């Protein structure tokens, strides 16, 4: 049954939690927005495009139309939230893309776009929060990374590199600001059943079957992310079994000649 704001919200006790989520027009971000709203939290959503249907379905959500690549736009948003003493207690930096950028030829544009959105899109939020760390109440900043960062995806090179760099950046921030109110956390997600583009069709069918075994639903992911956001742990790997899959892939890439390319047919001459 679809979420109906009027019907379902009457039953929900309101709480004071305020969460900002990027990329709520689909997939995990949308699932998270739904999850938090049903728990009575205040939600601020940052999306690159307007979706009137979504906005009418979630009338209590504050929607901001900002592309996460827009450094100035995000600085302005944080400034505005700070000026109104309305900085969210949790930021979930979820917006991301996955593109094939290295198939029969390498696309520098697609590679750059993946880094601009997946890596710089998250750092654009981290920078103005770090600049204010002394004045913040407890603020959790959560990056959504991927198990892809364990094993190179030769077709989606920008995705792999961006998620690896994102994970490493948040590991460093987490250590640097460990004893402050600004808590950096990161989530390493395995396959989640969303419409995000993947390079799956490039891999042998058996790989797709194996991948299905390791997939989780958006609802399960939202619950796991919520529980994690409340914990003191800096990092969540979810579902944990996906780590085993991607670590095995990494090992196979090191040990089996040709496996690295993951290609069914050789490059055309
Ligand atoms: N699904 C998985 O298996 C999986 C596994 C590991 C990690 N992840 C990560 O989880 C996150 C969400 O993925 P998903 O599966 O939910 O993908 P999705 O369904 O494609 O959702 C991505 C969201 O990000 C938004 N977005 C993309 N570029 C943006 C930009 N420049 N500015 C603002 N918003 C932007 C999209 O907006 P539009 O609707 O406008 O495109 C959409 O709302 C991503 O960071 C992804 O890498 C996913």
What pLDDT sits at residue 4? 66
Q: Tell me the three state secondary structure of residue 103.
A: coil
Class of domain 5-261: alpha beta
Q: How many residues are given for the chain?
A: 269
Q: Dmax of the chain from CA atoms?
A: 64
Residues 6+ apart with CB under 8 A from 33: 21, 24, 43, 45, 58, 61
Q: Ligand 1 atom 45: the closest Cα is on which residue? A: 96
Q: What are phi and psi of 183, to 5 degrees?
A: -105, 120
Residue-by-residue pLDDT tens, the chain, 269 positions: 566 655 665 555 556 899 999 999 999 999 999 999 999 999 999 999 999 999 999 999 999 999 999 999 999 999 999 999 999 999 999 999 999 999 889 999 999 999 999 999 999 999 999 999 999 999 999 999 999 999 888 889 999 999 999 999 999 999 999 999 999 999 999 999 886 544 455 555 666 666 777 889 999 999 999 999 999 999 999 998 888 888 888 898 888 877 766 655 666 67
- Six-digit token string for 154: 């030769």
What pLDDT sits at residue 184? 98
Ligand 1 closest atom vs CA 148: 6
What pLDDT sits at residue 77? 98
What Cα–Cα distance (Å) separates residue 44 from each residue in 13, 34, 92, 123, 230? 18, 12, 10, 18, 18
Closest CA to 22 of 68, 81, 87, 84: 68
- Would you kindly state where each structural domain of the chain is located, as residue ranges? 5-261
Q: What are phi and psi of 117, to 5 degrees?
A: -85, -55
Are 118 and 22 in contact by the 8 Å Cβ rule? The answer is: no
Are 34 and 57 in contact by the 8 Å Cβ rule? The answer is: no
What pLDDT sits at residue 246? 86
What pLDDT sits at residue 214? 82
What pLDDT sits at residue 195? 66
From 27, 52, 197, 238, the mutation candidate for ligand 1 (largest count of ligand atoms within 8 A of CB) is 27
54 CB-contact burial (10 Å; exposed 0-12 / middle 13-18 / buried 19+) = middle
- Which residues surround ligand 1 with Cβ inside 6 Å? 22-29, 47-49, 67-69, 94-98, 117, 121, 144, 146, 189, 191-192, 194-196
192 Cα: distance to centroid of ligand 1 (angstroms):
11
- Six-digit token string for 74: 């995000």
């Amino acid at each position: 049954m679809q979420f109906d704001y009027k019907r379902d919200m009457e039953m929900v006790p309101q709480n004071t939690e305020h969460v900002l989520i990027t990329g709520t027009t689909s997939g995990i971000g949308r699932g998270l927005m739904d999850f938090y709203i049903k728990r009575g939290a205040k939600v601020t959503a940052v999306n690159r495009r307007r979706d009137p249907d979504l906005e009418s379905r979630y009338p209590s959500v504050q929607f901001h139309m900002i592309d996460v690549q827009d450094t100035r736009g995000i600085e302005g948003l944080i400034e505005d939230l700070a000026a109104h003493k309305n900085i969210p207690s949790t930021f979930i930096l979820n917006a991301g893309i996955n593109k094939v950028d290295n198939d029969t030829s390498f696309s520098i544009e697609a590679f750059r776009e993946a880094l601009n959105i997946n890596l710089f899109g998250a750092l654009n939020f981290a920078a103005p929060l770090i600049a204010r760390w002394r004045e913040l109440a407890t603020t959790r900043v959560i990056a959504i990374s991927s198990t892809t960062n364990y094993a190179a995806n030769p077709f989606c090179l920008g995705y792999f590199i961006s998620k690896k760099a994102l994970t490493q950046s948040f590991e460093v921030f987490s250590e640097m600001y460990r004893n402050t109110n600004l808590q950096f956390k990161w989530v390493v997600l395995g396959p989640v059943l969303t419409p995000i583009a993947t390079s799956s069709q490039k891999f042998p069918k058996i790989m797709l079957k194996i991948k299905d075994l390791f997939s989780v639903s958006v609802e399960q992911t939202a619950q796991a992310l919520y529980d994690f956001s409340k914990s003191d742990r800096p990092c969540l790997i979810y579902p944990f079994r996906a780590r085993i899959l991607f670590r095995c892939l990494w090992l196979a890439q090191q040990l089996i000649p040709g496996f690295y390319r993951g290609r069914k047919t050789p490059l055309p001459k």
